[in-house]
Amino acid sequence: MATVIKAASTSTAPAHRAAAVVRLAGQAARACLAEARLSPDTVGALINVGVYREHNTFEPAVGALVQKEAGINLDYLAHPVPGAAFSFDLMNGACGVLNAVQVAQALLDTGSTERVLVTAADVHPSGRADLDDDYPYADLGGAMLLERSATAEGGFGPVRSARADQPSATAGFLRTVGMGSNGRRRITVRREPGFAEQLLDLATEIATDYAWNEELDLRRTLLVSSRPTADFPYRLAARLGMSGSSVLAPQVPGPARGLPHTAAPILGYLQAVEQGLPEGVDQILFVAAGAGPSAACVSYRPQER
């Protein structure tokens, strides 16, 4: 049996209003479950992979707060099936969703649960990314429900990841010294000179090796890439010898300013489904690259919906 995407959804913050990471992830989770026509109590595990949060909050685990926001198995005595759901955070920047897919595959393969919900959301520490021209990311949430298919055809392939030896290409951190009274509403995002080239080199290497090892025909593949820079997916496609029509760069919907971050693979998948795969294309290659520098990739063959 294969691991497949049962449903997916994204959420954005209303214009000129503060965003909250738990609310965005929870909204996406509820919409995802509604699309799947499933009760929240049918989810056995929730993996949250967002990084940036209002007020730079790191405890408690945001995954547990998202679980509560989405109403997932809040009373395991009243709803004993599938048992007490558990949730946790998995933080690896832009690669987080693909790492979560890998964990979900293990949980589903062993029968630990029947469904895994992956959530991702990032917001500016002030809750207003639109007011900070130097902050590169949009306030965006996403959710993706994974389950086992009744057949072995289609679904996700194995997830592969890699990390470069050189120092971090890009990093976000809180300056604790001299942060002042507004420190929790700020974040420093530092990008090393040539960071985009470092990420391109790593993403090209891992995608090329993946295509070779998994016998993936890139001529029949749609590339869905993260966007550490606006043109990153197109430059990666060019390095892989793929045409411009075979690449999808996730676009944040509505008035939100900035690029998608951890929720980019979910957003890209939804936009690929909405647009339809190009003629002659029957599979997707997800590639993500970010802090570390690190990169991850996984193939996905959609089943009939």
pLDDT in tens, the chain (305 residues): 799 999 999 998 776 566 788 999 999 999 999 999 999 988 999 999 988 777 666 667 889 999 999 998 887 666 665 555 789 999 898 999 999 999 999 999 998 889 999 999 998 877 777 777 888 888 999 999 999 987 767 899 999 998 877 766 666 665 555 565 566 556 666 667 778 898 999 999 999 999 999 999 999 999 999 999 999 999 999 999 998 889 999 999 877 778 999 999 999 999 999 999 888 899 999 999 988 789 999 999 987 64
Angle at 259 between CA 256 and CA 260, to 5 degrees: 90
Task: Report the candidate in 23, 46, 59 with the shortest Cα–Cα distance to residue 141.
Answer: 23
pLDDT computed for residue 150 by the predictor: 76
Task: Report the candidate in 236, 223, 234, 240 with the shortest Cα–Cα distance to residue 283.
Answer: 223
Domain 3-152 shares a fold with domain 160-301: yes
The domain spans of the chain are: 3-152, 160-301
| H-state helical runs in 170-263 | 195-213, 232-239
pLDDT computed for residue 107 by the predictor: 94
Q: Are strands 45-48 and 160-163 parallel, antiparallel or unpaired?
A: unpaired
pLDDT computed for residue 140 by the predictor: 92
Whether the Cβ atoms of residue 115 and residue 145 lie closer than 8 Å to each other: yes
Distances 130 to 7, 28, 52, 160 between C-alpha atoms, Å: 29, 20, 15, 34
| Beta strand segments in 207-301, E | 221-225, 247-248, 283-290, 294-301
pLDDT computed for residue 189 by the predictor: 66
pTM value? Answer: 0.90
d(CA 266, CA 273) in angstroms, rounded, equals: 11
User: What's 284's DSSP letter?
Assistant: E
pLDDT computed for residue 266 by the predictor: 97
pLDDT computed for residue 41 by the predictor: 86
Task: Report the candidate in 210, 27, 193, 207 with the shortest Cα–Cα distance to residue 121.
Answer: 27
Radius of gyration for the chain, computed over Cα atoms and rounded to the nearest angstrom: 19
pLDDT computed for residue 152 by the predictor: 67
CATH class of domain segment(s) 160-301? alpha beta
Q: Does domain 3-152 have CATH number 3.40.50.300?
A: no
**Which token pair is 149?**
């298919």
